[in-house]
A and B are shown apart, each in its own frame.
Chain A
Amino acid sequence: MQELKIPALRNGTVIDHLPSKVTFKVMRMLQLRDYEHTITVAINLPSIKIGKKGIIKISDRYLTKEEVNKVAILAPKATVSIIKDYNIKEKIRVKFPDIIENIVKCSNPKCITNNEDVTTHFKMVSEKPLMIRCHYCERSMSREDITLK
């Protein structure tokens, strides 16, 4: 029944199982606001897996592997499906990226990136538990510390 609420996608990408509260952040992170084709967004849909979920359907655009992995920064349980002619051609499980550039803010107020106009740059140092390290100040951050720029 849920599918009826959102128009089916002919060609494009579906990002599913997003926590509702990060759905718009994912939109911002993937810079979808200026996208000229149709984007359908829904939040607070019931989900057995995560309670309430969000979904983004982007028509006529296929996310790159890098973009898919960016989703994992905010939504590690998200799934990304590539749709062609109304059929799922590929279902991709998101994977946290090894390198994160200019998306995440360093949690260290004394980091140069929070004081001068510098592109932030993090490296993943451990996947489980997730730990990323700032390229500049070397501060390690866990998932709870991660906020977007």
Chain B
Amino acid sequence: MKKFVFILVGIIMLLGIPATVFLSSRNQELRKKAAPATTLSLSPSVVTKKVGEEFTLEAMINTADNQVVASEIQLAFDPTKLEAISITNGIKFPLILVSGTIGSGTASISVGAANTTTPITGSGTAAIITFKTLAATTTPTSITFAPETFVGALGESATNVLVNSIPAKITITSSATAETPTPTPTLSLQTTGTATPTPTLASSSASASVSALQITAPSSSQTLLTDQPTIRGKATPNATVTITIYSEPQTVTVVTDANGDWKYVVSDPLEAGPHTIVVAALDPITNVTKTATLAFVVSDQTGNNATGSAMPISGVVENTLALLFIGLFFILAGAFIPTFMTIRL
């Protein structure tokens, strides 16, 4: 009889541990789905300039599932290397709630949707910032979103729905040094997810045609069921296209074919969640580097390659390991304690 009880306890434990792990992961899954996931990124993310030159960055927003109404964008940078010249709203945010403010090593602006009945969704330009380089760098200097940066969305109460921000890396060469021949994005030209891809508020140098460099797949804000997607696009024939994928930066270069088509199959599986692609290519006609940006989401339901992305993003591996060890302890206890007790008896 006692042996039967011990076996029953063992079976319950064996069933209970996987059930606990499953319910725990479901809980983490629910938390992840509830978690807001808007991202901000600076585009282009890599810039090389000489001392004394000006360049423009776009603060790009990908709202994911959120209905964004307002954002306070605060940028931080090394004031010995860079000076902010101006900051204004991007085409995605029609209202300037607080005028742009420039400081030493800071630039900020608060922008908003036209009203709460037309909140902002999808991807596009939130703000446009012009910088001037002041001194050469030995290693690239960063322009980052300050921790005070805030994105508010309907239905999220006072929660800052911004969960991820991607900085820009700026390399400044001395004015005597020749500029490197590598593609040097000078200005983002494409506002993703909008019907009118040429931003009307961009500086005058943004006159290049978007059709010269495009990302045709995935589509803007698309949720992908694979963590190794194929990225396709168009550029001028036989051009070198530099592709950078964020959040964990992966940079590769590909060459377009005679039709101007290019593609890249992501080799390192991407984590589930929002990502941004930045592509850059030198236009051989105008000798101007053009960039295009696109945001997409990798689903946590990816069927292939269940290695890294099988773990819920907002969960932590430690919890699961702890549960496994506890489960193992009970299994061993269930196996050895009855034997030990039988011997004693």
Q: Say whether A associates with B.
A: no
